[in-house]
């Protein structure tokens, strides 16, 4: 069952898709199909009911994603500085709309938990950040952030920071853990081989 957003503060959903997909040979990885639907369709279906709105972090011509009817927020820092720029894009997008929290999810992660946002909020305690974990590993692109951190994050990016975990460690973070068996909910599709594995996992799920 998908968690109802009323169980926690209004939270915006940020779909991170601003990378270059080098291991897939370039192109738009979220448009790759698994089990008859794009990866982005899978993520929207799971995350959408948990959040107060979705924004897609992509770069380049947004028309290629027009069929999804999503708000688009490109990286606010030039030069493809990595997923932290997508986090900042989401923070600034939702902060401007009066929403105090965002959750980020890589748009190539088709099996994200349907209780993701609730559990991240429960895990954050007094921290402004909570990060998802599975199998004893942190999942830095799947995390909850207070949008009030936007100013600090922008300054850090402009100063050259590129590592998510190094930046979040400065602020303190809670952690929410999931099992990675029989299915890692944070499995992400990076290579053509991963597409075949995702098909098998989808059939098993």
**What is the β-pairing status of strands 137-146 and 129-134?**
antiparallel
Q: Assess if residue 3 is contained within a domain.
A: no
**What letter would DSSP give residue 30?**
G
pTM of the model: 0.92
Q: Assess if residue 82 is contained within a domain.
A: yes
Please tell me the distance from the alpha carbon of residue 191 to that of residue 205, in angstroms, as a whole number.
21
Domain count for the chain? 1
Please tell me the distance from the alpha carbon of residue 2 to that of residue 174, in angstroms, as a whole number.
22
Do residues 66 and 31 lie in contact, with contact meaning Cβ atoms separated by under 8 Å? no
Q: Assess if residue 1 is contained within a domain.
A: no
Please tell me the distance from the alpha carbon of residue 118 to that of residue 4, in angstroms, as a whole number.
9
Residue 2 has pLDDT above 70, yes or no: no
Q: Assess if residue 98 is contained within a domain.
A: yes
**What is the β-pairing status of strands 129-134 and 174-178?**
parallel
Q: Assess if residue 35 is contained within a domain.
A: yes
CATH code for position 22: 3.90.550.10
**What letter would DSSP give residue 154?**
H
Q: 188: number of CA atoms within 13 Å, CB side?
A: 20
For residue 138, list its beta bridge partners: 133
Q: Assess if residue 198 is contained within a domain.
A: yes
pLDDT digits (tens, 9 = 90+) for 146-166: 999 999 999 999 999 999 999
Q: What is the span of the domain harbouring residue 186?
A: 8-204
pLDDT digits (tens, 9 = 90+) for 91-143: 999 999 999 999 999 999 999 999 999 999 999 999 999 999 999 999 999 99
In degrees and rounded to multiples of 5, residue 135 shows phi and psi of: 55, 30
pLDDT digits (tens, 9 = 90+) for 74-89: 999 998 899 999 999 9
Q: Assess if residue 27 is contained within a domain.
A: yes
Q: Assess if residue 120 is contained within a domain.
A: yes
pLDDT digits (tens, 9 = 90+) for 162-202: 999 999 999 999 999 999 998 999 999 988 888 888 888 88
Q: Quick one: pLDDT at residue 196?
A: 85
Q: Omega before 85 cis (within 30°)?
A: no
Q: Is 77 strand, coil or helix?
A: coil
Percentage helix, strand, coil for the chain under 3-state DSSP, each rounded to 5: 40, 20, 40
For the chain, give the mean pLDDT.
Answer: 91
């Amino acid at each position: 069952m998908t968690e109802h957003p009323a169980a926690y503060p209004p939270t915006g959903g940020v779909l991170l898709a601003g990378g270059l997909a080098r291991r897939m040979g370039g192109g738009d990885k979220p448009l790759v199909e698994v089990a008859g639907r794009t990866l982005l369709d899978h993520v929207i279906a799971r995350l959408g009911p948990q959040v107060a709105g979705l924004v897609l972090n992509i770069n380049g011509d947004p028309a290629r994603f027009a069929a999804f009817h999503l708000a688009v927020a490109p990286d606010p820092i030039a030069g493809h500085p990595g997923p932290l720029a997508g986090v900042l894009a989401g923070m600034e997008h939702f902060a401007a709309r009066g929403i105090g929290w965002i959750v980020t999810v890589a748009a190539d992660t088709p099996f994200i938990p349907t209780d993701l946002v609730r559990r991240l909020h429960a895990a954050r305690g007094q921290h402004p950040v909570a990060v998802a974990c599975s199998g004893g590993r942190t999942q830095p692109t799947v995390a909850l952030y207070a949008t009030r951190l936007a100013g600090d994050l922008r300054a850090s990016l402009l100063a050259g920071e590129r590592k998510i975990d190094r930046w979040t460690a400065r602020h303190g973070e809670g952690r929410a853990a999931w099992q990675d068996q029989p299915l890692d909910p944070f499995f992400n599709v990076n290579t053509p081989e991963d597409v075949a594995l995702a098909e098998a996992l989808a059939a098993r799920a």
